[in-house]
Chain A
Amino acid sequence: MSSIGTGYDLSVTTFSPDGRVFQIEYAAKAVDNSGTVIGIKCKDGIVMGVEKLITSKMMLPGSNRRIHSVHRHSGMAVAGLAADGRQIVARAKSEATNYESVYGEAIPIKELAQRVASYVHLCTLYWWLRPFGCGVILGGYDRDGPQLYMVEPSGISYRYFGAAIGKGKQAAKTEIEKLKLSEMTCREGVIEVAKIIYKVHDEAKDKAFELEMSWVCDESKQQHQKVPDDLLEEAKVAARAALEEMDAD
């Protein structure tokens, strides 16, 4: 897919002769360089997981949060340029609180996804703004049940039952497709997501990574929160065991 768009790639307001906007595609490449982010929709909720690549041994574990709560019932996992991601999360928080103060109920996830997508798209329309260099997986639980959306730097947003962005997204998507999501509970989903992230992590190219996971499900009372520590540990142990089993083959 990589073609040189000489001359047509200098501005986000220029189309190439074959109808592509190169700047947006380059923005998507920034997302592809970041650690893998996965989201799955289980039968009773959403689970999201992030492979946080550790760039320095001096970093404190638990810092550099990649998954943020947007409202009580929804959260966002960010891949790509972290500072751009912060901006998108701030905007989503503001949209969510604004909706609640006007309409008196929590923002439906579909509406939130649309607003975030519009905002991301906005930054692809003007020459004096650059596109966001990050993709976002948005998961939430409203009265239509659990929902998972993914927003790309182009401003496209679709609803998924399994989504992955970042370095290992191809491998991750293959793994997700193997899962029977409609029969899985979130508890089981957490273990599966951990296994997938451990599996797609490339030991050769990137050294250490930290696993960050969150969920919104019936067990968390439809509130978005970090996966409880004991379950997270259980997931990590299961994931490492599954890896060893695979290596042993």
Chain B
Amino acid sequence: MNFMASTQPENRLLGPQSDSQRTLYPYVTGTSVVALKYKDGILMAADMGGSYGSTLRYKSVERMKPIGKHSLLGASGEISDFQEILRYLDELILYDNMWDDGNSLGPKEVHNYLTRVMYNRRNKFNPLWNSLVLGGVKNGQKYLGMVNMIGVNFEDNHVATGFGNHLARPILRQEWHENLSFEDGVRLLEKCMRVLLYRDRSAVNKLQVDVFLKMAPNQIYSLAKLLWSLT
């Protein structure tokens, strides 16, 4: 056995410049995002909080953004990584627009791109610390998918991230059905967000709710950011 102190890093997989370049912990994080398909499109909700550890530090963080003409991206997890993802997507959509050929990237394509990005980063042990919800409508087809920091991705009629998976999805499994009306969808989302506000310590009482409409594909409508007081 060699008793001399090793000058090489213990784990050769990481290489010489390992730790300072890898994501180890998230710093400013967003909590759950909940989304569901309804009759005319997609409904997505997320609160506007950015937590710094256990402090609810930022109260006006927009965790949902429209991507291109057809999709909405909602993120939980590290906010700075979400901003970086938005930059990648911005460039992707820009190059797509520059073709100027009447075609544009739809939600399925964007979801696939994000999955590739997340999975490849995870394989380099430097993940983007997010769980992403990607929903949208293209050519009348609704699409709702999720991808997280280890690259797991799937598509479903209703998705949630983080605590939403434990608190909101059981509600959605019970009460979701095809062809929900807009009002019913919003009511269902509000119910989920209310439960999250009660039980998730990092939830904040200011919401962002976005709608993606089948009929008017260029319209993303931001419902008034509801301010509830804790009853």
Interface residues of chain B: helix, strand, loop or mixed (majority): helix
Q: Does A93 contact B98, Cβ atoms closer than 8 Å?
A: yes
Q: Does A226 contact B91, Cβ atoms closer than 8 Å?
A: no
Q: Does B87 contact A101, Cβ atoms closer than 8 Å?
A: yes
Q: Does A97 contact B91, Cβ atoms closer than 8 Å?
A: yes
In the assembled complex, the CB of A6 is this many whole angstroms from the nearest CB of chain B, namely 45
Which interface residue of B91, B94, B98 has the most chain A CB atoms within 10 A? Answer: B98
Using known A-B contacts A97-B91, A101-B87, determine if residue A72 contacts B100 with beta carbons closer than 8 Å: no
Which of B87, B91, B98 interacts with A69 by CB under 8 Å?
B98
In chain B, what residue has the closest Cβ to A67?
A: B100
Per-residue CB contact flags for chain A residues 62-73 toward chain B (1 = under 8 Å, else 0) read: 000100111110
In chain A, what residue has the closest Cβ to B99?
A: A69
A157 at the interface (CB under 8 A from B): no
In chain A, what residue has the closest Cβ to B91?
A: A97
Q: Does A68 contact B98, Cβ atoms closer than 8 Å?
A: yes
Interface residues on B, range: under 10
Residues on B with C-beta less than 8 A from A71 are 94, 98
B219 at the interface (CB under 8 A from A): no
Assembly CA distance A126 to B98 (angstroms): 32
Residues on A with C-beta less than 8 A from B97 are 69, 72
A225 at the interface (CB under 8 A from B): yes
Residues on B with C-beta less than 8 A from A226 are 100
Per-residue CB contact flags for chain A residues 124-155 toward chain B (1 = under 8 Å, else 0) read: 00000000000000000000000000000000
Assembly CA distance A225 to B98 (angstroms): 9
Residues on B with C-beta less than 8 A from A101 are 87, 91
Assembly CA distance A68 to B87 (angstroms): 23
Assembly CA distance A65 to B101 (angstroms): 10
In the assembled complex, the CB of B86 is this many whole angstroms from the nearest CB of chain A, namely 12
Assembly CA distance A69 to B94 (angstroms): 10
Per-residue CB contact flags for chain A residues 95-134 toward chain B (1 = under 8 Å, else 0) read: 0010001000000000000000000000000000000000
Per-residue CB contact flags for chain A residues 163-178 toward chain B (1 = under 8 Å, else 0) read: 0000000000000000
Residues on B with C-beta less than 8 A from A70 are 98
In the complex, the 5 A-B pairs of residues with the closest C-beta atoms, listed nearest first: A69-B98, A69-B100, A226-B100, A225-B100, A97-B91
A: residues with CB less than 8 A from B are 65, 68-72, 93, 97, 101, 225-226
